[in-house]
Amino acid sequence: MGALHKKELICLGLFNCSIDTAVYTEWVENELIKNLPVNSVYIIDNASFHDEKLLRPLLEQNGHILLFLPTYSPQYNKIEKKWAQAKHYKRKYRCDVDTLFRQFM
């Protein structure tokens, strides 16, 4: 999991579990918020674990704005290109995810 800021991945989180609302919200609260630049606009897709009722107050209390992409619009979701790049490197160099992010991303 991660966020994209000025074309760079930030707040990378590697998890040995399925991502659900609790895991994602905890990551936002404990990792993302403290690493976002002041007064950021955080744009996310409509994944089922992106719970607006939990995320909006967390972000707004810290001076950020939460926006959602239109439904079914992966063409606007710039982080998806980074994940595709990561998958490409993972296949190309036959490495695990930890090595991938430490050395290539």
- With 0-12 / 13-18 / 19 or more C-beta atoms within 10 angstroms meaning exposed / middle / buried, residue 8 is exposed
What is the model's pLDDT at position 104?
Answer: 57
pTM strictly above 0.95: no
Q: Domain boundaries in the chain? A: 3-103
Residue type, 81: K
pLDDT in tens, 62-95: 999 999 999 888 889 888 888 788 888 888 888 8
Report helix, strand or coil for 67: strand
Q: What's the CA angle centered on 37, arms 31 and 38, to 5 degrees?
A: 110
Bigger pLDDT: 4 vs 59? 59
